[in-house]
C-alpha cells in the first residue's frame, strides 16, 4: 500500500525542518554542535528520508532507495560520536522527528488512514534510529581499536635507571591487554639488560581493579622466577584503599611511596651506593682545618 509520507515530507519541508530542530534542541541537554551544522544534517536527512519512503519497499532498509538516508545517518553518528554525544543522544536525532511528523500526519491525513500512516512512520523511524546506534557503535569500536594500537605501540617504556635497575613508569589506566604487553616487555628487558631490580611506578595510574592488580602481581612473580625483584612505588592513597578493599595480597612485594625511595632501595639491593664527590669533601676538610688553626692537608 502506498504511503502518503513522501507527499507530506515534500509539502511541509521547511515547516518540518524548523519544528524538528526546535524539538532536538529542547531534548538535547547539551549543545555540542553548531546550529548551522545541525540544520545541514537535518535537511540532508529529510531529503534522504523522502527518497526512502518513496521507494517500493519502504520497510526494507537494505533497499537501494534507503542508501542516501543511511549515508547521512552514518555521517551524523560519526560526527556526534566525535563531538561527545552519547548513543542515545545520537539516536534522538531520528526519534525527535516523530513528534513533528506525527503532528503533520494528524493534520493532513484522512482520519481512517492516520493509524496506518503513523504506524509506517514510526516503524521506519525506529529502524533508522537503531541504525544510528549501530553506526555509532561501529565508529566507536574503530576509534577504540585505533587508539589501542597507538597506545600499545607507544607502550609503557622500560627505562634503565642505573646499572642493574630498571624502571617502568606506568601512566594512565591499565587494562588487561596493556598490562600483558607491559609484562612481557619488562621481562624481556630484564633479560636483555641483566637487571636484578625493576621499579614499577604507578604514580600516574588513577585506579586499579582486581584484574589489573592480579596482572601486576603475576608480573612480579614471573620476574622473581627469573631472578629479579620488583618494587612498587607511587601508590596513591586511593589505590592503597582499593588494594585493601579488594583483598589483594601484596605478599612480600616491597612498596615505596616515591620513585626516589624505590631507587635508593634498588641501589642498596644491587650493592651500589651514592657518595659525595671528593672535591666537596676536600673543601670541607679545608674549612675544618682553618677553623682549628691547624693545616690538616
User: From the CB of 164, what's the least distance to another protein, in Å?
Assistant: 9
Enumerate residues 38-97 that contact another protein by CB under 8 A. Answer: none
Task: Write b or e for each residue in 2-34: b if 16 or more Cβ atoms lie within 10 A of its Cβ, otherwise e.
Answer: ebbbbebbeebeeebbebbbebbeeebeeeebe
Q: Please tell me the count of residues contacting another protein according to CB under 8 A.
A: 26
Closer of 105 and 190 to another protein (Cβ) = 190
Q: What mask, x for binding another protein by CB under 8 A, covers residues 140 to 179?
A: ----------------------------------------
Closer of 22 and 191 to another protein (Cβ) = 191
Closer of 247 and 251 to another protein (Cβ) = 251
User: From the CB of 273, what's the least distance to another protein, in Å?
Assistant: 11
Closer of 41 and 219 to another protein (Cβ) = 219
Enumerate residues 268-287 that contact another protein by CB under 8 A. Answer: 268-271
User: From the CB of 129, what's the least distance to another protein, in Å?
Assistant: 30
User: From the CB of 91, what's the least distance to another protein, in Å?
Assistant: 29
Q: Which range of residues in 1-9, 155-163, 238-246, 267-275 is near another protein by CB under 8 A?
A: 267-275
User: From the CB of 152, what's the least distance to another protein, in Å?
Assistant: 13
Q: Under the phi-then-psi rule, with left for phi > 0, alpha for psi from -120 to 50, and beta for the rest, what region is 112?
A: alpha
Query: What is the spatial distance between Cα 268 and Cα 111, in angstroms, rounded to a whole number?
Result: 89
User: From the CB of 271, what's the least distance to another protein, in Å?
Assistant: 7
Closer of 36 and 225 to another protein (Cβ) = 225
Here the cell at position 144 is 577504540
- Pick one of 252, 291, 293, 297: the residue that binds another protein (CB under 8 A): 252
Closer of 42 and 187 to another protein (Cβ) = 187
Q: Which range of residues in 24-32, 77-85, 123-131, 182-190 is near another protein by CB under 8 A?
A: 182-190
Enumerate residues 185-244 that contact another protein by CB under 8 A. Answer: 187-188, 190-191, 194-196, 218, 221-229
Q: Which residues bind another protein (CB under 8 A)?
A: 183-184, 187-188, 190-191, 194-196, 218, 221-229, 251-252, 254, 268-271
Amino acid at each position: 500500500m502506498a504511503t502518503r509520507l513522501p507527499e507530506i515530507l515534500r509539502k511541509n519541508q521547511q515547516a518540518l525542518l524548523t519544528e524538528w530542530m526546535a524539538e532536538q534542541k529542547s531534548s538535547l541537554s547539551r549543545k555540542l554542535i553548531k546550529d548551522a551544522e545541525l540544520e545541514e544534517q537535518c535537511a540532508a536527512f529529510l531529503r534522504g528520508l523522502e527518497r526512502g519512503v518513496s521507494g517500493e519497499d519502504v520497510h526494507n532498509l537494505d533497499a537501494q532507495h534507503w542508501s542516501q538516508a543511511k549515508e547521512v545517518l552514518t555521517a551524523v553518528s560519526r560526527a556526534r560520536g566525535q563531538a561527545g554525544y552519547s548513543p542515545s543522544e545520537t539516536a534522538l536525532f531520528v526519534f525527535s522527528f516523530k513528534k513533528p511528523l506525527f503532528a503533520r500526519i494528524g493534520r493532513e491525513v484522512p482520519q481512517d488512514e492516520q493509524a496506518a500512516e503513523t504506524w509506517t512512520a514510526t516503524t521506519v523511524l525506529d529502524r533508522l534510529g537503531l541504525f544510528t546506534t549501530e553506526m555509532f557503535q561501529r565508529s566507536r569500536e574503530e576509534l577504540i581499536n585505533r587508539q589501542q594500537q597507538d597506545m600499545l605501540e607507544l607502550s609503557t617504556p622500560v627505562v634503565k635507571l642505573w646499572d642493574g635497575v630498571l624502571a617502568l613508569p606506568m601512566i594512565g589506566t591499565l587494562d588487561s591487554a596493556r598490562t600483558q604487553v607491559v609484562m612481557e616487555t619488562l621481562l624481556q628487558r630484564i633479560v636483555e639488560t641483566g637487571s636484578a631490580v625493576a621499579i614499577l611506578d604507578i604514580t600516574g595510574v588513577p585506579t586499579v581493579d582486581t584484574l589489573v592488580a592480579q596482572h601486576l602481581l603475576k608480573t612480579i612473580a614471573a620476574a622473581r622466577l627469573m631472578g629479579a625483584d620488583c618494587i612498587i612505588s607511587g601508590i596513591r592513597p586511593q589505590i592503597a584503599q582499593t588494594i585493601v578493599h579488594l583483598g589483594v595480597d601484596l605478599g612480600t612485594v616491597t612498596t615505596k611511596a616515591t620513585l626516589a625511595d624505590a631507587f635508593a632501595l634498588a641501589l642498596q639491593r644491587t650493592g651500589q651506593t651514592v657518595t659525595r664527590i671528593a672535591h666537596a669533601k676536600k673543601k670541607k676538610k679545608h674549612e675544618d682545618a682553618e677553623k682549628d688553626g691547624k693545616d690538616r692537608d
